[in-house]
């Protein structure tokens, strides 16, 4: 029987750099979105980026799904800040048009360290080709923003017709990309590599109505295998037509499950590499005006990207790991 995991041979890309091999730290108590949320001051999040600048043009960032929307605006913000930024997109023509637009908007495009690479995160072969070319061209990575995602539902719809491609794109794709790029994470005494996964509060654990799966997700010993097991069970339920009665999230179910899995995987990574120079966090931009929301929302993609960029560029001494930031003004922070 062919499963989603058999289409994503992670073991081919599982080699880790020596500096990332360490004993997992002790797990801390888990706090969910509806249990133990704390309001925090946004520290330097909204202070001028230049006041705590730790990066340079040698700092390399990758943003996936970046030919439009939040991804495009994130690339613009990071490139304008002086980083070397890799814009990725599935469509080559749209990717190059995005690069051209960014250079034109910047005025002096020669000052931008901006590159386009084709990448379809739903396709393992595309990920492998991208990582191979990136390694040849750059060899090191400081920031990865997993923004690429899909949903085929209208705002008030809840079809699971395309559940498999949603799961492949929104969960397995970022997971494979992260594991393939880990060996290139830069080792530095003055900074730390960072992963920011653009996710959703729809993927909060409290959206899961199945008590056994919720208990598993809340466990301090949650594993990647358990997360993949939950995702594969969802796909099986969809194929059997039983998904409505199995306690899955009720709103945008396939999208919610994909983001729930990505949130959970982010927590596993954050715990594993907490003391090894890698920071992993998630950011829910809220109801943003993008193609996924059919242009509806409370704020623009540029607004969301401004917050996302500041999160991605937090000074090393202020950068946490295993956190879930919510909204345009992320005063709400919880543990994943």
Residue 297 CB neighbour total at 10 angstroms: 18
State the angle between helix axes of 301-312 and 69-80 in degrees (0 to 180), rounded to the nearest 10. Answer: 50
172 is catalytic: no
| Contact criterion met (CB below 8 Å) for 199 and 262 | yes
- Which of the following is catalytic: 13, 117, 255, 325? 255
The residue count for the chain: 336
Give the C-alpha separation, 135 to 99, whole Å. 21
Work out the number of other CB atoms within 10 angstroms of the CB of residue 128.
Answer: 15
Residue 38: other Cβ atoms inside 10 A:
10
**Angle of helix 92-106 versus helix 69-80 axis, rounded to 10:** 40
Give the CA distances from residue 240 to residues 167, 229, 234, 235, 255, in Å, rounded to whole numbers and listed in that order.
17, 16, 10, 9, 18
Q: What angle do CA 55, 74, 46 make, to 5 degrees?
A: 65
Catalytic residues: 255
């Amino acid at each position: 029987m062919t499963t989603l995991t058999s289409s994503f041979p992670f073991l081919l890309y599982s080699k880790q750099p020596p500096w990332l091999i360490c004993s997992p730290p002790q797990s801390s108590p888990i706090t969910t979105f509806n249990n133990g949320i704390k309001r925090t001051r946004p520290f330097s999040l909204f202070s001028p980026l230049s006041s705590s600048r730790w990066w340079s043009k040698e700092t390399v960032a990758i943003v996936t799904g970046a030919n439009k929307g939040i991804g495009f605006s994130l690339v613009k913000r990071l490139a304008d800040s002086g980083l070397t930024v890799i814009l990725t997109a599935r469509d080559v023509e749209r990717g190059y048009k995005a690069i051209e637009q960014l250079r034109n908007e910047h005025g002096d495009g020669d000052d931008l360290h901006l590159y386009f690479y084709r990448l379809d995160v739903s396709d393992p072969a595309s990920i492998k080709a991208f990582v191979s070319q990136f390694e040849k061209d750059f060899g090191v990575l400081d920031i990865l923003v997993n923004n690429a995602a899909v949903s085929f539902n209208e705002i008030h719809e809840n079809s699971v017709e395309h559940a498999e491609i949603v799961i492949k794109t929104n969960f397995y794709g970022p997971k494979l990309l992260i594991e393939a790029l880990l060996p290139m994470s830069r080792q530095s005494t003055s900074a730390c590599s960072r992963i920011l996964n653009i996710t959703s509060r729809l993927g909060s654990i409290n959206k899961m109505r199945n008590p056994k799966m919720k208990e598993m997700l809340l466990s301090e010993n949650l594993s990647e295998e358990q997360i993949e097991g939950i995702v594969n069970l969802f796909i099986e339920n969809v194929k059997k037509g039983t998904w409505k009665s199995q306690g899955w999230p009720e709103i945008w179910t396939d999208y919610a499950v994909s983001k729930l899995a990505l949130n959970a995987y982010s927590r596993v990574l954050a715990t594993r590499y907490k003391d090894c120079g890698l920071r992993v966090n998630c950011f829910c931009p809220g109801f943003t005006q993008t193609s996924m929301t059919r242009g509806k929302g409370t704020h623009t993609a540029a607004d969301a990207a401004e917050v996302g960029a500041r999160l991605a560029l937090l000074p090393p001494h202020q950068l946490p790991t295993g956190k879930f930031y919510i909204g345009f003004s992320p005063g709400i922070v919880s543990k994943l």
